[in-house]
Amino acid sequence: GNRLAGKVAVVTGAGSGFGEAIAKKYAFEGAAVVCVDMNEKAAARVAGEIGGEKCISFKADVSNFKDWEALIKKCKEELGGIDILVNNAGTSHKNKPTLEVTEDEFDRVFAVNVKSIFHSVHAVMPLLIEQNRGGSIINTSSIGAHRPRPGLSWYNASKSAVTNVTKSLAAEYGPKGIRVNAILPLMAATGLIETFMGMENTEENRAKFVGNVPMGRLCTPEDVAKAALFLASDDSSFITGQQLEVDGGRGI
Ligand code: NAD
Q: Which residues line ligand 1 (CB under 6 A)?
A: 12-13, 15-19, 37-39, 42, 60-63, 88-91, 112, 140, 142, 185, 187-188, 190-193, 196
pLDDT at 31: 98
Main-chain phi, psi angles of 12, to 5 degrees? -90, 150
pLDDT at 201: 80
Q: Among 243, 237, 231, 244, which residue's Cα sits nearest to residue 177? A: 237
Ligand 1 pocket test: which of 190, 206, 218, 247 has the largest number of ligand atoms within 8 Å of its C-beta?
190
Ligand 1 pocket test: which of 22, 25, 36, 37 has the largest number of ligand atoms within 8 Å of its C-beta?
37
Whole-number Å distance, alpha carbon 235 to ligand 1 midpoint, is 26
Walk me through the domains of the chain, giving residue ranges and CATH numbers: 8-244 (3.40.50.720)
Whole-number Å distance, alpha carbon 116 to ligand 1 midpoint, is 13
Q: Among 9, 3, 30, which residue's Cα sits nearest to residue 79? A: 9
**ipTM of the shown complex:** 0.99
Q: Nearest C-alpha to atom 4 of ligand 1 is from which residue?
A: 16
Question: Which residues are part of the catalytic machinery?
Answer: 155
Mean pLDDT by 10 residues, the chain (252 residues): 97 98 98 98 98 96 98 96 98 96 98 98 98 98 94 97 98 98 97 85 87 96 98 98 97 83
